[in-house]
Amino acid sequence: EWLLSKYQYRIYIKLHPSYNYQDKFAQLEGGVNFIDYFPKVDIMMCYNSFLGYEYKALGEKVIWMQEYEDNLEQLYLELEKYVWHNRI
């Protein structure tokens, strides 16, 4: 919600095929696109995921969510720093 209110960005979520948890994102209604492909992105955010490693291997910016579980403010600062520095 913070990211959507501060910036005009699209958020894409690719759910893990073995789990059904789309309802967990209800609070982001309207700002989230659920997809089943791997889009070109400016920032890839994930937990320890093979998909994250694939994006990283392609040279994309990957933010590992598990590093920020206890400090969301630090995650927001990291996102803002990256967005500002890269003017995306």
pLDDT in tens, 30-73: 667 888 888 888 888 888 888 899 999 999 989 888 888 888 78
Return d(Cα 37, Cα 2) in angstroms, integer: 25
pLDDT at 56: 92
Q: Is the pLDDT of residue 11 over 80?
A: no
Q: For residue 5, name the pLDDT band (cuts at 50, 70, 90).
A: low
pLDDT at 38: 84
pLDDT in tens, 75-87: 888 888 887 787 6
Report which of 29, 33, 40, 36 is spatially closest to residue 10, judged by C-alpha positions.
33
Kindly state the DSSP code that residue 27 receives in the 8-state scheme: G
